[in-house]
Amino acid sequence: MTTTTPEPTPLGIIAAGGVMPRRLADDVLASGRAVYVVAIREFAESQLYAGLPHRVVRLGAAGQLIAAFRAAGVRDLVMLGHAKRPSLLSLFPDAWTAAAIARVGRGYFAGGDDTLLRGVTRVLEDEGFA
């Protein structure tokens, strides 16, 4: 009996500022795994992702981010790069993001950076990403 290992799904990279997200993408590609990058407009230098499958979305448009990763077949995500903590009022959330904020509660914005990142991670895990 022959067993085949399923092809790994692309690694999703949520890219903020700096070159580290691109370096990770290059390393993952060199290992033989595909990537899909969603660059956050307010932080990422989108020209770094030329030649890679990617999309640029604004910070408050998490619904577009989720849709892009799903369309690309992504299941595993990493967040990488530097970013300034947004204020709740500066997000101009799309419907998906507003619903996610309502689910996790505004308290995540009142806590420290770790609290906010845990909230983001929780929402992404609830959407089926690892």
For residue 80, being part of any structural domain is answered with yes
Range of the domain at 99: 11-126
Please write the tens of the pLDDT for every residue from 48-106: 999 999 999 999 999 999 999 999 999 999 999 998 887 777 788 899 888 888 877 76
pTM over the 0.85 mark: yes
Rounded Cα distance, 83 and 104, in Å? 21
Using alpha carbons, select from 78, 75, 66 the residue that is nearest to residue 117.
78
Residue 77 lies in a domain: yes
CATH number for the domain harbouring residue 96:
3.40.50.20
Running DSSP on this structure, what letter comes out for residue 65? H
Q: Is the pLDDT confidence value at 37 over 60? A: yes
CB hemisphere CA count around 121 (13 angstroms): 10
Is residue 81 in some structural domain? yes
Decide if 6 is inside a domain.
no
Q: Other C-beta atoms within 10 Å of 38: how many?
A: 27
Q: For residues 36 and 48, give the distance between their C-alpha atoms in angstroms, rounded to a whole number.
A: 13
Report the number of distinct structural domains present in the chain: 1
Burial readout 44-82 (b: 16 or more C-beta within 10 A, e: otherwise): beeebbeebebbbbbbbbbbbbbebbeebebeebebbbe
How many angstroms separate the CA atoms of 25 and 91, rounded?
A: 27
